[in-house]
Amino acid sequence: MQQNLLDLDLAGLTAWFAEMGEKPFRAKQVFRWVHKAGEPDFEAMSDLALSLRSKLVERATVASPEVMREELSADGTRKWLLNVGTGNAVETVFIPETDRGTLCVSTQAGCALDCAFCSTGKQGFNRNLSVAEIIGQLWWANREVGKNSEGNWPITNVVMMGMGEPLLNFDNTVTALRMMLDDHAYGLSRRRVTVSTSGIVPAMDRLRDECPVALAVSLHAPNDALRDQLVPINQKYPLRELMAACQRYLEKAPRDFITFEYIMLDGVNDTLKHARELIALTRDTPCKFNLIPFNPFPQAPYQRSPADSVRRFAETLIEAGIVTTTRKVRGDDIAAACGQLAGQVQDKTKRTALRIQEVRG
């Protein structure tokens, strides 16, 4: 079987090259061709000996997940539905802005955590994505969008906020993160790579020690009673433990604050009483809040908070000295906004698969 080079970080590629009797500097050359230059064709790697190129053609491949469907929003947001085999699909979203390009990456097919407001959770868990399937999203999206006029790749920021809980696919997520940060690959700043977690406390400590990047925590409720319902993993890692883990994370984090994500659900978690509880909860934790208007999906038991409620909620936090932003709803015409990433994926997958079969006859 051919080795997919997207599965190997530089250390792994060097070890694989050693098994073939090839020197470490050759591994570095190939790593740079694949990730820095975005080149999948070994024959085009012009500074490699012909004998090495032939060996690679025979034994290796560079394969990111197959794109089943692409959607382009009027605001420039692009969403790709990726086939990760056995009827599973995940989504990757590229969000262009004037000063940066952000890629939202998935780490699992489905998710086991079943947050009450999340369409992914309704699908259940299918499997962890491999390193190649995670880094392949960045590799492929860079090539697809293309370099800008200065010759730079378009993606400057990565957020692991797509389908799945990254810290429950810890090893593959961290290997992919290291590749994102590696100067011989994408060279992204730790401050511009964000892992979003629902609060897997022991894994937050491991991430801090093994590969600290910016951290976002899906908070969504100011007290255990409500968070137990909205984010059921809270029953295992309640708020007291979660806030302590956030403070430990900050000891080594590349940013001096945690971002708390807070989805605004009409009449559920969006009152001024909730805002005041949040202020008390986060008193000892340097943080920013990102308020996210809920994107209803079919059978969703919640409604989006009215704009006035969101504004008053934000003002209350800001008056207490907490930097608070409200996420712009982007790409909602293609269901690419947060919480919709996996919306109807399985249906779409089946429909797309059917169409592919029809096309192939």
Residues that bind ligand SF4 (CB under 6 A): 111, 113-115, 118, 120-121, 163-165, 198, 218
| Lookup: tokens for 45 | 């790697």
Least distance in angstroms from the C-beta of 246 to ligand SF4: 17
Least distance in angstroms from the C-beta of 146 to ligand SF4: 30
Shorter beta-carbon distance to ligand SF4: residue 136 or 343: 343
31: Cα within 13 Å, side-chain hemisphere: 26
Q: Long-range pairs for 236-241 at CB < 8 Å and ≥24 separation?
A: 237/199, 237/200, 237/201, 239/281, 241/201
Distance set, CA 53 to CA 8, 45, 116, 129, 177 (Å): 18, 8, 51, 29, 28
Least distance in angstroms from the C-beta of 343 to ligand SF4: 11
Shorter beta-carbon distance to ligand SF4: residue 62 or 245: 245
Q: Which residues have C-beta within 8 Å of that of residue 178, sequence separation ≥ 6?
A: 9, 211
Dist CA 110 CA 121 (whole Å): 7
Catalytic entry in 111, 115, 118, 338:
338
Dist CA 65 CA 61 (whole Å): 12
Instruction: Report residue 149 CA to chain centroid gap.
Output: 27
Shorter beta-carbon distance to ligand SF4: residue 115 or 334: 115
Catalytic entry in 91, 133, 165, 261:
91
Say if residues 215 and 197 touch (Cβ distance below 8 Å): yes
Instruction: Report residue 161 CA to chain centroid gap.
Output: 4
Shorter beta-carbon distance to ligand SF4: residue 39 or 114: 114
Shorter beta-carbon distance to ligand SF4: residue 52 or 219: 219
Least distance in angstroms from the C-beta of 204 to ligand SF4: 14
Say if residues 33 and 45 touch (Cβ distance below 8 Å): yes
Backbone angles phi, psi at 121, to 5 degrees: -55, -30
Please confirm, yes or no, whether 91 is among the known catalytic residues. Answer: yes
Q: Residue 230 is inside which H or E element, if any?
A: helix 224-230
Please confirm, yes or no, whether 338 is among the known catalytic residues. Answer: yes
| Lookup: tokens for 2 | 């051919």
Least distance in angstroms from the C-beta of 161 to ligand SF4: 8
Shorter beta-carbon distance to ligand SF4: residue 45 or 230: 230
Least distance in angstroms from the C-beta of 58 to ligand SF4: 40
Say if residues 227 and 192 touch (Cβ distance below 8 Å): no
Report, as residue numbers or ranges, the catalytic residues.
Answer: 91, 338
